[in-house]
């Protein structure tokens, strides 16, 4: 590899911090990685989860500084940003980065549950509180003086793009998580805008929509100076974190599926046609290539296992060893993992429940496995719905996120889904996906064509499902769904 080989920068702005990767256009390898951390603003209001957008910009500065350390920055040709979906960023009429009217309400904020129910009735499809449209209606109802000043609505990655380029736009993949997009027609829905307030449409609060294959602008000189990058480099449109993660995990063919085990659990698959589910369990998203990315998201995933670790004062490695001796299905012990309510199904007021307890069951290994299985079964239930809605089935699953580092969890996923589990070589799949999009645009290719032409390596490890465990997990899934519906379905 030549020292002068060009590189691109991929940035992922998440709930817990920012990550950055440098991708070499000659070797097609990740050269360097950087990260920063941030947290949700403290609040004692149930369901509230907010961050100030300024913390995202600081996180980008820190992560980029790390990846550029020791590198000739003149090699950087382009940049793209992946971002947490759904977050509501509101700006005033001047529409500048510093004109944010209030902290951003995040994807995991469920204060807008009542507004979600109202909009679901009005629009005749089920919207969950995560969606941006519900948060904007919440703002109108609960902070009318702020809503009156709103002139522009952006998502988190759009806000970072505004800082980078001075341009306010929204890309289809991220826009499809707002609830405002007519996914099939790929345009803003006038009915959805008017359901919040006629001002949304009349005053053009939603920015222009852009596709995945063209730069949205060039890096502003003043921001380039802040970041230590060349001014005028191309800025790709980026996308939501799940759409970028799909790129970074190498999704190419229809039905190809990724599961992410993180703070939230997500499962998404590439589809040539939109998968429209009026129940709202499957989100009708666009992907970052011009195709579609039906997705389900659960609010409770790795945090449920953390509850067990904190309760017993044991480390995850020790708990994993104990859990390995427990049987699949946990002998009927079922953990409904809805510690902070749930999005899939849309049960924002649900709580966690541990059922099927008998004497001696309150041992750490069993509870840890029950938490692991409960989080997995929640995703499996949604995946079955996705197949029923028309997704092409696949025989392998790409696993990413922090939970993918746990060998037992990888086996549980393989056994419950009865699919081979592959681990992509690059764990930071969203940041890598953003870099791949930037690479495609710098090289004048389509994003889909570039990803197909440069297949990504896996770790070489394939977890094979144990067919002898299939029956136990089918029974566990039936019990899981029945108990959840009995306790929380309305």
Distance CA 105, CA 102 (A): 9
| Options 12, 24, 174, 241, the catalytic residue | 241
- The answer to whether 409 and 372 are in contact (CB under 8 A) is yes
Residue 358 CA to residue 26 CA, distance in Å, equals 60
List, in sequence order, the alpha helices (H) in 20-52.
none
CA 65/CA 49 separation, integer angstroms = 28
Contact 246, 293 (CB under 8 A): yes
- Contact in structure between 167 and 217 (CB atoms under 8 Å): yes
Alpha carbon distance 156, 89 (integer Å):
7
Instruction: Please count the CA atoms within 13 angstroms of the CA of 32 that sit on its side-chain side.
Output: 17
Q: Positive or negative, the Cα torsion across 271, 276, 280, 286? A: positive
Which contiguous run of DSSP H or E holds residue 466? Answer: none
To which H or E segment does residue 258 belong?
A: strand 257-261
According to DSSP, the residues that pair with 269 across neighbouring strands are: 257
Q: Which string of b and e fits 179-209 if b means at least 16 CB within 10 Å? A: bbbebeeeebbeebbebbbebbbeeebbbee
Distances in whole angstroms, Cα of residue 382 to Cα of each of 101, 283, 296, 385: 36, 11, 6, 5
Nearest residue to 266 (alpha-carbon basis) of 375, 365, 409, 153: 375
24 is catalytic: no
DSSP state of 268: E
CA–CA dist 209, 194 (Å, integer): 18
Q: Cα separation of 375 and 369, whole Å?
A: 10
Residue spans of beta strands (DSSP E) within 375-454: 396-400, 420-424
DSSP of 164-217: HHS---EEHHHHTTSS-EETTTTEE-HHHHHHH-HHHHHTT-SPPEE-SSS--E
Tokens representing 268 are 């998404």
Looking at the annotation, which residues are catalytic?
241
């Amino acid at each position: 590899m030549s020292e002068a080989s060009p590189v691109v920068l991929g940035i992922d702005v998440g709930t817990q911090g920012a990550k950055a990767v440098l991708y070499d256009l000659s070797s097609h390898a990740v050269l360097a990685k950087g990260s920063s951390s941030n947290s949700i603003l403290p609040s004692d209001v149930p369901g509230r989860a907010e961050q100030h957008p300024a913390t995202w910009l600081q996180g980008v500065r820190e992560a980029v500084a790390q990846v550029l350390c020791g590198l000739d920055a003149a090699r950087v040709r382009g940049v793209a940003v992946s971002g947490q979906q759904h977050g509501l960023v509101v700006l005033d009429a001047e529409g500048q980065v510093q004109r944010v009217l209030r902290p951003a309400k995040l994807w995991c904020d469920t204060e807008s549950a009542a507004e979600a129910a109202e909009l679901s009735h009005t629009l005749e499809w089920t919207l969950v509180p995560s969606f941006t449209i519900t948060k904007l209606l919440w703002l109108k109802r609960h902070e009318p003086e702020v809503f009156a000043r709103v002139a522009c609505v952006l998502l988190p990655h759009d806000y970072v793009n505004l800082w980078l380029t001075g341009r306010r736009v929204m890309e289809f993949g991220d826009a499809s998580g707002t609830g405002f997009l007519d996914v099939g027609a790929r345009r803003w829905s006038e009915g959805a805008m008017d359901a919040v307030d006629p001002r949304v449409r009349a005053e053009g609060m939603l920015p222009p929509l852009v596709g995945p294959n063209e730069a949205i602008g060039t890096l502003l000189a003043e921001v380039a100076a802040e970041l230590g990058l060349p001014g005028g480099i191309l800025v790709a449109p980026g996308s939501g974190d799940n759409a970028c993660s799909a790129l970074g995990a190498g999704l190419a063919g229809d039905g190809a599926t990724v599961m992410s085990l993180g703070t939230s659990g997500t499962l998404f698959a590439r589809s040539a046609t939109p998968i429209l589910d009026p129940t709202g369990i499957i989100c009708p998203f666009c992907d970052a290539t011009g195709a579609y990315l039906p997705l389900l998201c659960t609010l409770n995933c790795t945090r449920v296992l953390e509850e067990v670790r904190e309760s017993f004062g044991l480390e995850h490695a020790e708990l994993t060893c104990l859990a390995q001796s427990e049987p699949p299905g946990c002998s009927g012990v079922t953990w409904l993992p809805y510690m902070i309510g749930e999005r899939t199904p849309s049960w924002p007021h649900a709580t966690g429940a541990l059922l099927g307890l008998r004497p001696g069951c309150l041992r750490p290994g069993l509870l840890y496995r029950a938490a692991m299985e409960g989080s997995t079964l929640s995703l499996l239930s949604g995946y079955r719905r996705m197949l029923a809605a028309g997704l092409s089935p696949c025989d392998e699953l790409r696993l990413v996120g922090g939970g993918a580092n746990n060998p037992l969890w990888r086996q549980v996923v393989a056994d419950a889904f009865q699919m081979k589990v592959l681990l992509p070589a690059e764990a930071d799949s969203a940041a890598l996906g953003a870099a791949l999009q930037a690479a495609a645009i710098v090289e004048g290719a389509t994003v889909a064509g570039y990803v197909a032409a440069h297949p990504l390596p896996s770790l070489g490890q394939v977890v094979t499902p144990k067919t002898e465990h299939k029956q136990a997990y089918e029974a566990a899934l039936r019990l899981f769904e029945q108990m959840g519906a009995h306790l929380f379905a309305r």
